[in-house]
Amino acid sequence: MTGARVAIPTTLSPAAFNRRRANAFVRTLRGETMGTSWSATIVDPPASAEAAIGVVLAEVIAQMSHWDAGSQLSRINRAAPGGWHRIAPAFGEVMTAAIDIAAKSGGSFDPAMGALVDLWGFGPPGPVARQPDADAVATARAASGSDAFEFDPLLLRLRRTRAAHLDLSGIAKGYAVDAVAARLRELGCRDFLIEIGGELVGVGIQPDGQPWWVDVETPDHLVVTPLRVALHNLTIATSGDYRRTADFGSHTIDPRTGRPIANGVASVSVLHQSCMQADGWASALTVLGPQAGMALAEQERLAARMLDRAGGEWISPALQAMLD
């Protein structure tokens, strides 16, 4: 792309580039999951690839979807506080990451915001006709927060100490990308690009020897120099308001205030070895805004780009190193 900036990982795999085979068979699989679409472009895919991807995605939904009333997460949300619930290893992995990001971000990310998300019309109950008043926000905040949950990562069990609802939508989709990639590796796939609702991972290379090139998402109304990334054993996740509309401002809720963010952030993209981490951190940085968010990105050595609604752009040092 003419005029585009190019970001290349600082670590490349020579073995992957030695696999260059211009005549290799490439197949793109597509489907729907988690209220969005998915695709997987795979070099020399096994016949079982599509079915395997379907199984992985179904497992993530069955464990962690707050939209599926029969999921493990939904059952925990409905249960009376006080009892322990065994959770699947994948669920435990996501909870561990979510709690860690919540702590490091000062609560700008929280995996137990279900009540607030529902209050503002972004959860399973659907849109609301009127903006919630201060009392409603205070009530929902009291019924939110990861401090309402005790998590035992060794025994893989979880319990609520008070009425609060888990909502892992800010991190579970990224985990699903990682899980699909892991399953494809188990099947012997070495070169592929996976996308689920705008979150991506690129592994290996394309048959022509090129990496998997991806243009970082930018809101249509912003004039910003394009940024193209070589997704070579790398993931990217983007958080932003431009793909959804909200009647009361941003659809991104600040867990600390219980209200939509008003910091002007339009989108945040994070590159990471783990799409789960990229997804969670993109959500946290969006809430924090340019100053605090980019300072934390530097502290955590995150490769991140932030755009505001006026077209301002911030690039973290870790991402700048990929551009130099």
pLDDT of residue 303 exceeding 80: yes
203-230 average pLDDT score: 91
**Rounded to the nearest 5 degrees, what angle is found at the Cα of 130, between the Cα atoms of 125 and 131?**
95
Q: Rounded to the nearest 5°, which phi and psi values hold at 270?
A: -125, 130
Query: In whole numbers, what is the pLDDT of the chain averaged over residues?
Result: 93
279-296 pLDDT tens trace: 999 999 999 999 999 999
Percent of the chain with pLDDT over 70: 97
Q: How far is CA 282 from CA 8, 85, 129, 230, in A?
A: 20, 29, 29, 19
What is residue 160's three-state secondary structure? strand
pLDDT of residue 300 exceeding 80: yes
Q: Which of 134-148, 176-190, 244-258 has the lowest mean pLDDT?
A: 244-258
Per the listing, tokens 């790398």 go with 234
Q: Which amino acid is at 141?
A: R
pLDDT of residue 226 exceeding 60: yes
pLDDT of residue 23 exceeding 90: no
11 pLDDT band, cuts 50/70/90, is: confident
pLDDT of residue 81 exceeding 90: yes
DSSP 103-133: HHTTTSS-S--HHHHHHTT-STT---SS---
**Rounded to the nearest 5 degrees, what angle is found at the Cα of 302, between the Cα atoms of 301 and 303?**
120
Q: 58: how many CB neighbours lie within 10 A of its CB? A: 11
DSSP 217: P
**Rounded to the nearest 5 degrees, what angle is found at the Cα of 196, between the Cα atoms of 248 and 238?**
50
Q: Is the dihedral of CA 274, 216, 203, 18 positive or negative?
A: negative
pLDDT at 1 (0 to 100): 46
Tokens of 67: 């939209």
120-168 pLDDT tens trace: 999 998 999 899 999 999 999 999 999 999 999 999 999 999 999 999 9
CA separation for the pair 58, 292 (Å, rounded): 37
Q: How far is CA 55 from CA 42, 61, 183, in A?
A: 17, 10, 10
Q: Which amino acid is at 108?
A: S
Q: For residue 279, say whether it is annotated as part of any ligand binding site.
A: yes
pLDDT of residue 64 exceeding 50: yes
CA separation for the pair 164, 145 (Å, rounded): 7
pLDDT of residue 2 exceeding 70: no
Q: Which domains are present in the chain? A: 5-47+189-323 (3.10.520.10), 60-160 (1.10.3980.10)
pLDDT at 282 (0 to 100): 98
Contact 193, 40 (CB under 8 A): yes
Q: Are strands 192-196 and 212-215 parallel, antiparallel or unpaired?
A: unpaired
pLDDT of residue 113 exceeding 60: yes
Tokens of 217: 């998402």
